[in-house]
Chains A and B, each alone.
Chain A
C-alpha cells in the first residue's frame, strides 16, 4: 500500500492525485497531497511512475499498512526505482534502461525447454 508522500521532495503538482486509479489521494491547499484513503490502494505502484520528483513510496504488502520511516526510505535508494527502471522521463534516452518487454515470450519458451 501507499505509505509515504515525501514533503521534502513534493512540489504539489498533484499529478499523483489524477493518476491514481483508486483515487487514494486528496489534494491539499498548500502542501503535498494527503493519503486520504489508504485502504483503497491497490498496490499497483503506478503513482510512482507519474511522480517526477520520486516523492512517493508504495510498500508491496497489499493487505496491511506497513508504516515506513521517511528518512530511512530516503537513504535506501529505493525511491524512484520504478520510474528509472522503466526508462521514463529523464531516463528515456538511457540505452541500459530500454524497454525489453519483448523478451517475455522468449523467456517463456526457454523455460518450457522449447
Chain B
C-alpha cells in the first residue's frame, strides 16, 4: 500500500489553529508571509476557547493603571513572574484585539460602550478563522501534525502530519519558521473543547531540543454538572454546595478553590445550589453563555430551583500553567526556527504559579502569537525558506519506533487515573508521586507504535497517546522536584521552608530529567 503524500512550502508554518495559532497566522499573513496553518480538528471550532468565552487582560494606557496591574500580578506570581512580558502582552492585546471587529460583531453594553476584551468563543474563533483566510493564510483542517522536521544544523524545517478527511494521506510542510500553537494538555478529560489538546506540541518541542518549565503547576479542576463537559465557571460564583446528607460544605478561598469539593466527592455525591443567583442574571444567562443553559435544559434540571449533582473535570496544563519554556522576548523555544505561543508555552512569565484563566491566558495567547509571528517573519526575511536543504523527522515515540504491544486504551486509562484524580493531584506526596512515576514509566515502555495502525486516525491516535503519557511523566517528575507547595502545586507532605523563587525545568523523552533554576536565571 502506498500512502498519498502532499508537499507544501511556506514561509511560516503554524501548528494548531486555536486562539494563539489564529492570531499568529493573521499577523504573519498580514506581514506578507505565505502562511500555512495545520490544525488537528477544524480551525474555528477546535481548541478550548471555541466553546468558551475568553475575557482578555485589558488595561488601558492611563496614568499608573498598567503599572498597578503589573505590580498586583507580579505579587500574585510569587517570584516567578516577568514584568516586561506582562507589559508586552497588556500593550499588544490592547492595540490588536479591537481589529477583530472586522469579523466579530461586538454588541454595545448598557452604556453603549464596546467592551473589546470580552468575546464569546464560537463567534470569536469563527471570526479568527475568517480573518486569517482573508489575510491570505492557507488552512489545512483535520490535519494533525505528527512530528517536526529538522535541518542538519539543528534548526527546525517544518513538520509532517496526516490528513483525516478527504483523500487522507500524509502531508509535509517545509517552512522557514515554525510556530507551535497546539494548546495545553488536559489528559483527555471531559473538559469542554479539550479533547484535541493532548500535549502533542510538548512532545514535538522536547524531541526537537526544547525544555519545559512549570509542569508541576498542572493540578487544576473545575466544577461541572455531573458527567458533563460544561466547565464555564461564571454561574458557580453564586454556588453553595451540599453533601448527600444535605449539609452545607465550607468553601475556602485560594488557588485550590475546588480542593474542598475533591475531598467531599471522595466521600460521596455533592450537590450544587444556585438559588442565590440574582433574577436578572438568570434571565440574561442564555445570551451570556447559551451552552450553559442548554446543558441544564437537556438534563431536565432547573438550576435555580433544583439542587443538582456536580463533578470535577481536570484541566492539566490548560488552566494550569506549565509548558515549553519561552527562551526570549520573541517567544522563541530556544531551538532555531521554532516558536511557542499560547498554552503550549509555560505561562509562568505572565502568571507565575497560579492559573492565568480568566484574563491572562487569552492575552498571552493573542500576544505571544503576534510577537512570534513577527519574529518568524523577520527570520524568514533574513534566512529564506531553505526548502531545498535536507531535513529529517525528529519524532520517535508513537510513530515508527518499535515499542511494546500494550493495549492503547489501557495505557490511556492508567495515565488518566493518575492525572485526572483530583485527590491525587491536590494532595501530592513523595509516596503518591513516586508510585505514579513508576506506573507512568512502565506505561511509556509499553507504548504501542504506529507500525500496524493503518488509517490516519489510528496513526494520529498513537502519537497522541505518546504525548499524553510523556506529559504525565514530565508533570509528575516536576511535582517530585518541587518539595514545597507553591501556587497550583500543593504538596500535602511539604515541610515549610523558606526557599528562593525557582523554576522547575524538565526535559528528556526516554529518560526524564528535572533541574531547579533560580528565577531570573537561564537554564
Binding site for B on A (CB under 8 A): 17-23, 37, 40, 42-46, 49-50, 59-64, 78, 81-82, 85-87, 96-105, 107-108, 110-112
Asked whether B373 is an interface residue with its Cβ less than 8 Å from the other chain, the reply is no
With the chains together, A60 CA to B287 CA distance in Å? 19
Asked whether B238 is an interface residue with its Cβ less than 8 Å from the other chain, the reply is yes
**A46-B50, A99-B287 known; A21 and B196 CB under 8 Å?**
yes
Asked whether B351 is an interface residue with its Cβ less than 8 Å from the other chain, the reply is no
Q: Chain A contacts of B281 at CB under 8 A?
A: 107, 110
CB <8 Å contact, B107 and A43: no
How many residues of B are in contact with the other chain, CB < 8 A? 54
Asked whether B87 is an interface residue with its Cβ less than 8 Å from the other chain, the reply is no
With the chains together, A10 CA to B230 CA distance in Å? 27
**Central interface residue in B120, B229, B298, by most chain A CB within 10 Å:** B298
CB <8 Å contact, A44 and B142: no
B445 to chain A, nearest CB (A): 27
Q: Chain A contacts of B165 at CB under 8 A?
A: 17-18, 23
CB <8 Å contact, A108 and B298: no
Summarize B's interface: helix, strand, loop or mixed: loop
B128 to chain A, nearest CB (A): 14
A49-B122, A60-B299, A62-B190 provided; 18 other pairs, C-beta below 8 A? A19-B42, A19-B44, A22-B41, A23-B142, A40-B195, A43-B228, A46-B50, A46-B51, A59-B298, A60-B228, A62-B227, A63-B227, A86-B290, A99-B105, A102-B109, A103-B284, A104-B234, A111-B237
Asked whether B293 is an interface residue with its Cβ less than 8 Å from the other chain, the reply is yes
Closest to A98 in B: B107
Q: Chain B contacts of A108 at CB under 8 A?
A: 234, 237
CB <8 Å contact, A81 and B118: no
CB <8 Å contact, A82 and B291: yes
Q: Chain B contacts of A98 at CB under 8 A?
A: 107, 287
CB <8 Å contact, A78 and B120: no
A3 to chain B, nearest CB (A): 10
Closest to B460 in A: A23
Asked whether B492 is an interface residue with its Cβ less than 8 Å from the other chain, the reply is no
Other-chain contact of B193, A19, A42, A78 (Cβ < 8 Å): A42
